[in-house]
Every structure is written in C-alpha cells, then in structure tokens.
Amino acid sequence: MAAETILQHWIFTQFIFPFALIWAIVYGVLEKTKLLGDGKHQLNTIVALVIGLIFVGAIFPKTVVENLILFLTVAIVVMFVLMLLWGFAFSDKDKGFEPQSWMKWILWVGAGIAVVIAVIWATGVESTVIDFLFKQSWSESFWTNFAFIVVIAVALAMVLKKGAS
C-alpha cells in the first residue's frame, strides 16, 4: 500500500483545498467585477471567506466541485497531449500552430459536450437523465425523428454549400 502524504490527509482534501479554491475564485470574481465597489479589497476578502466557509460546510456542492476539478485536470492533460501531437505533426516553423476555423468548431462542440457530460456525472444524476431520455414511451420515435432531421440538415448544408461555391 502506498504511503499517505501530508497533502492527502482528510483535513487538506475535505476542508483546506476546497476552501482555498472557492475563496480564490470568489475573491477573483469580486475583484474583477468590482461588484462591491472599487478598491474594496477587505470587503471582497470577507465575502469570499464567508462563502468559502459555507461551501466547505456543505457536502454535495463540495463533492460536485471535487468531481469537476478531477474532470478538468484530466481534460487539460488530454488537450495538452492532443495539441502537442498536432504541433509535432503539422507545425509550421514560421507561423506556429494555427487551428483552422472548422477545427475550432469541433473543439468547442467537443468541449461543450464533455462539460455537459461531466456535470451530469459529477452531480450523480446520469441514471435519471438516461432513463428520461432513452427509457420513456416517446423515446424511440423521438430519437428516430431526431436522427432523420440531423441527416436531412447535414445533407441540405452540404448541397447549399456546394451551390454557393
């Protein structure tokens, strides 16, 4: 069994790290938006402190944030590896990496879908969502019609794009 480090102690993982994360985010948002006024650093700190303390006292939101942070760290590493491989394969020494517009759309759509799935998983409602979307009396006809509409929309987009060229 691996030895536990001081940073894995339950006081750090259950209280200090979540508190520090929420305090930093709330303080940063309050400073940037100047919601409580310009130059109100002490007031922003107190509000962030109270929100951070309330946050660590609540179990479910803390669990959701912990799960989302785990997803975020893995997603960042995956994106880094993808960009590193893309840079090695397709980089131009003078220009560097410049994704084309269609690549940006694919990355945005993929990231959006990944975030929605991560939030559903982190909140623990995936079985409820799956039951609602796929195990209802209307599900089969809805998804069949949805697939037909998507195929027709893609076909129309391709025809119209060729016609405009």
In the prediction, which pLDDT does 101 show?
78
Global confidence as pTM: 0.56
The Cα 7–Cα 137 span in angstroms is 50
Q: How confident is residue 77, by pLDDT bands cut at 50, 70 and 90?
A: confident
Q: How confident is residue 89, by pLDDT bands cut at 50, 70 and 90?
A: low
Cα-trace Rg, the chain = 23
3-class DSSP state of 149: helix
Query: With 80 as the cut, is the pLDDT of residue 84 above it?
Result: no
Query: With 70 as the cut, is the pLDDT of residue 59 above it?
Result: yes
Residue 62 CB neighbours (<10 A) = 19
How far, CA to CA in Å, does 11 sit from each of 6, 56, 71? 9, 11, 22
As a whole number, mean pLDDT of residues 148-155 equals 94
Q: How confident is residue 95, by pLDDT bands cut at 50, 70 and 90?
A: low
The three-point CA angle 111-131-126 to 5° equals 40
